[in-house]
Every structure is written in structure tokens, then in C-alpha cells.
A = this chain, B = another copy of it.
Amino acid sequence: MDQDAIARSAPADAPEASAGTCSLAERFHAVRRQTLALAAPLSAEDAAVQSMPDASPAKWHLAHTTWFFDRFVLQPLAGARSPHPEWDALFNSYYESVGPRHPRPQRGLLTRPSLDEVLGYRAAIDARLGDALARDTFDRDGLRIVELGLQHEQQHQELLLTDLKHAFSLNPLLPAYHVHAPAAASAGPLEWIGFDEAVVEIGAPAWPASDAFAFDLESPRHRVLTAAFALASRPVTAGEYRRFIEDGGYRTHAHWLSEGWAWVQAGQRARPLYWLDDAHHFTLAGAQPIDPDAPVVHLSYYEADAYARWAGARLPTEFEWERAAAGQPVRGNFADHGHLHPRGSAGKGLRQLFGDVWEWTSSAYGAYPGFRPMPGSLGEYNGKFMCSQQVLRGGSCATPASHVRATYRNFFPPSAQWQFAGLRLAKDPA
């Protein structure tokens, strides 16, 4: 409930981000610039707003990601001192071991420092860290923390968009973040791809055994026995989900987990978040018609699970998902393409595992056998959230392409709706 970030990494086989083509310094500046580009359309007012405790202002994301480098990369260097030690408590997200923190639900009250001051802070840290990288200051451990900071920043790039979307959705004027004409693409029929029982390798090798970046929660790589199953070739579409609604899906307890049914009733819910009516929804391009062929998005786990039960299927486990994804190229509708909304895919065969929508799995978020958190304060990054959350896989239309891989595990509480989350069906063999 309290994590500010979600977990992903640079895939070895993705042409968009082959590690060989750029230095860490180049990557550092590229990622940092990309965050500024995402914030560029926002006024100081837009950048300061916080619409719920789970969300943060864009300005806070800009500052917190900078604080991360300041605190965990630069300050450990001998003689380094933060340019803004008085901001330490403001931009610490959840690192109890680092010191006191400004209460999360009050991040929207931080009209000071101003957006301009925060941008100045970014520039100062970028200069220092750019210098340090140029001077080869870091050993292998230090470089790993730099890379972690970049992965962390990419997570916040996605959160910046989802948090802003939530805030804008509550403004009756329904403002648009960007101008974007939705280009409809038809979705092909849903096929079932079969998998036999097998023992498969799951997860990423733990650092330092491997140089490829992965978060601690993805390790160690280990063997899992998966029974035979079938996986849908593509995510569930908005049109398919509308049939669930029309069939009384939100009024029929039998489809729902007990906790989900209580959630439906307490919130008098009858549609996904951001649907304005049955034909329109709010997007980062403002109010738009719903494309029935695009993957349905902004579902809670409860809704994803209820849909699957209504459809006579189930959600996949995260192991089933990873097994299917292991051989697939990391390509898809990512934030880099600028649509910032899922789109239909007319192809055949297994597709859209990456991008478009995060896919809820039936796996509760927990530790892999032999899991070891990172040492020190960064051990708080992922491990302490291993309770009451579900794993999502594959990245979304708001995820940077260079950030995801087959072993990447994202996690959110089952009631969370404001991420770009949808679902893919699975089923047991007949």
C-alpha cells in the first residue's frame, strides 16, 4: 500500500534498449531528460496536486527521484553534502532507516519548494552525478546503485502519468494532458495457447552473479513446476468487458471474491474507473470514445478476477505468465510510442504480453525461495511490501520500453485501479 514504485528492467533482447549502444552516463542523462519531458506540459499548479494518498504530485516525483540519487549515490561519496539537506524529510518516500518523512497524504501541501526550485535541484544533482560518472568515480557496487536509480526513475515516470490522470479525472473540466487522436485497430479473435506440464526456470539470477539489471524481488532464479495450462493469445478487450457489464456482472455476487463483492457494494461500482458512460472514458487525451477492440484497462484485481470467472476461465499465475513470456521479444505499446493508452492488436498468436496493460496474475506478491533483499536501506525497496498485494506482469502503455523484461514483477493491492492494469485469461486443460 505504501510503496511508491513498481519493479522492472532492461531486457537483453530488446532492440529498443540494447545495453551495448550507450554508456551509463548517456543513459543517465537520457532517462533524466525523459522525466522532464513528461512533466513539460504541466503548469506549476498541475505539478503540485495530489488527488489521493496513493498518488503523488508530479513535482514530488521530480524531486524524489533526484533525492534518490542525492541520498543513495552522491552522499555516500566522501565529502558530498546535499545541496538541500532541509528537504531530506520531504522527499524520502518510505525509507524508515534513512530518517523521518513528511506524511505521504500531505505531499500535495508542499507548495514550497516551488517547481522551479525543484527543477534547480534536478539540475544540480544531474551536474554532480554527470561529473562523477565522467570521472569514473564508482566501483561496480556504485554503478549498480546508479542503474537502480534509473530504474527507479523509470518507475516514477509511469507513476507521474497515472497519478496525474487520477487528479485530472476529478476535475469536472476533464483536462487533457496531451492532444492525441486515438487510432483504432481491430483486435483479432481470442485463441488459446496450450502449455504442457514442465519444470521451468523462473526469475533472474541474483546480483552480483549477473550483470543484467534486475530488482532483488526477481531473484533468485529458481525452478518451478507448472502444471499444464492454456493462455489466451491476447488481453481481454473493452468490448468483451462491456458484455460482462451488460450481463449484470457488477450485480451478480457469484462472480466475485467476497472482498471484491464488498468493494463493489461499498463503492456502488458498476464500471471500470474512468468510464464516463458505456461508450466514453476519460484518458490522458481527455474524454474519448471507448474503442471496443483495445484492451480493457484500469481494472482492480477484483474486477479482473470476476471477469475471468464470468468467462469460465481464470487468471494466470505469475509463473504461467513468465513461462509464456520467456521466449518473446520485449516489444509493444510502451510509453515511448506516446499513445499513453492501450490499443488493439490485429495479429495472430501470443501477443501483447509486453506493453498496453499490466496483467493481473493470481499470484500474491511474495518472496522467491532464497530471496535476499539488497543490503542497507535499499533493502526496504521491495521486500517489506510482500503482503496483501498481487503480482502484475508485462508493462503498460505508460511504461518506458527499456524498463520491462519477462522476469519483471510489479505489485499492487487488489483494490488499486489507477494503474494501467487489465487482464489476460488462462484456463486448465479440458
Instruction: Give residues in A with beta carbon < 8 Å to B.
Output: 1-3, 43-49, 51, 59, 86, 89-90, 94, 96-97, 102, 106, 108-115, 167-168, 170-173, 175, 199, 222-225, 227, 229, 253-254, 256-262, 301-302, 305, 314, 362-364, 366-367, 369-370, 384-388, 414, 428
Contact = CB atoms under 8 A, between A and B. Distances in A.
A369 B227 contact: yes
Contacts of A262: 1-2
Contact of A254 (B43, B96, B222): B96
A363 B256 CA distance: 22
Interface hub of A89, A227, A314, A369 (most chain B Cβ within 10 A): A369
9 contacts: A2-B258, A43-B44, A49-B109, A96-B254, A111-B175, A223-B227, A256-B384, A364-B364, A387-B414
A366 B370 contact: no
Contacts of A172: 89-90, 102
Contact of A173 (B86, B171, B364): B86
A96 B253 contact: yes
Nearest to A415: B388
A223 B222 contact: no
Copies in the complex: 4
A2 B172 CA distance: 21
B364 A258 contact: no
Interface hub of A59, A110, A114, A260 (most chain B Cβ within 10 A): A110
B227 A225 contact: no
A428 B369 contact: yes
A167 B112 CA distance: 11
Contacts of A314: 367
Given A227-B370, A257-B386, A259-B388, A167 B114 contact: no
A383 to B, nearest CB: 9
A1 B262 CA distance: 10
A135 to B, nearest CB: 33
Given A225-B199, A301-B387, A366-B364, A106 B258 contact: no
A109 B171 contact: yes
A118 to B, nearest CB: 10
4 closest residue pairs by CB, A with B: A364-B364, A96-B253, A225-B225, A45-B111
A349 B20 CA distance: 55
Contacts of A171: 109-112
A96 B251 CA distance: 12
A193 B43 CA distance: 57
